[in-house]
Amino acid sequence: MSMQLCREGIVAGPSSGEGLCGLIQYLERVRTSGRLSELSDTETGEISCVFICCDLPYQYLDGYFDRLPESQFPPIINQVLGQSERQTYRTDNGSQVLLSCDQDKYSESWILSTTQAARMLSCSAQRKQRLRECKRRSYQARGADDNKRTSGTRFLDLRQRDDFETEQIPQSMNSPLKGLTPTIRDLFGDPDTLHMIWTGLQAKFDKDEKVLSPKKQPIVILCYDGDTSQTATSILRAKGYTAFSVCGGFSALRRVTPTNKLSDGDD
């Protein structure tokens, strides 16, 4: 019942649907007993009914598919989407490629504004400076690995090496993603490109696991415009990393924070 409510524009969860079912069952009992007129307005003859929508459906979406028969859903035109291999199917507009990828969760809370990212960068730089200035033996004894764990937020730049060497965020690491270029304008609207980027990210993060660790230390992913880094963040979050992307990517962040440029001698 809650799914039907959603389809009619009332976004409600299972408990809300049960409330509506209870109301309908009550009205049916009253009708069967011949007392329905007792509920009607004396002037209009209408019966006003109210039920409480007390929950949302989002966390129960998988349950709808698991428990309800296929007849409750529209036919799936692109059923190959859930298969493990890339498939093609024929439509009136020609052959379209569908793929099984990019199934991990996305969250707006993982997308940093440029102001938030710049603040994290500044705090990380200050933390690293304090560690460098600290002369206590306890810090010296911990070594490079401990410095990595305590040095604050890391920035991982997926842009191509030439672009990174031309201009980069200070203290950022470069790990070029094959196929990623500044000319990709509609990542989520192009299945072929999305598949290429997603599979490349999966392979990269499986290979670069040591570079990414520790998982609890925040890591900000940068790309050209922010789309690829959103996908990267989704993958890393599913793997347990505290990952973030930046709205607008490197091109937006460079406008609000100092960068190292090739002309500055940082090649």
Q: What are the pLDDT digits (tens) for 117-150?
A: 999 888 765 555 554 555 444 444 444 444 444 4
Which three-class secondary structure state does DSSP give residue 77? coil
Global pTM reads: 0.59
CA distance 74 to 40: 37
Kindly report, residue by residue over 141-194, the tens digit of the pLDDT. 444 444 444 457 899 999 999 999 999 998 899 999 999 999 998 888 887 888
Written as six digits, the tokens of 94 are: 């020609």
Banded model confidence at residue 95, pLDDT cuts 50, 70, 90: very low
Of 242, 229, 260, the C-alpha closest to 154 is 242
Distances from the Cα of 126 to the Cα of 66, 120, 123, 137, 255, angstroms: 51, 10, 5, 20, 20
CB atoms within 10 A of CB 204: 20
CB atoms within 10 A of CB 145: 9
Q: Specify the pairing of strand 219-222 against strand 243-246.
A: parallel
Q: Specify the pairing of strand 219-222 against strand 173-174.
A: unpaired
3-state percent breakdown (helix, strand, coil) of the chain, nearest 5 = 50, 10, 40
Whether the CB-CB separation of 198 and 101 falls below 8 Å is answered with yes
Mean pLDDT over the full length of the chain: 80
The confidence score (pLDDT) of residue 124 equals 66
Q: Which ranges in 111-224 belong to alpha helices (H)?
A: 114-133, 137-150, 161-166, 191-207, 209-212
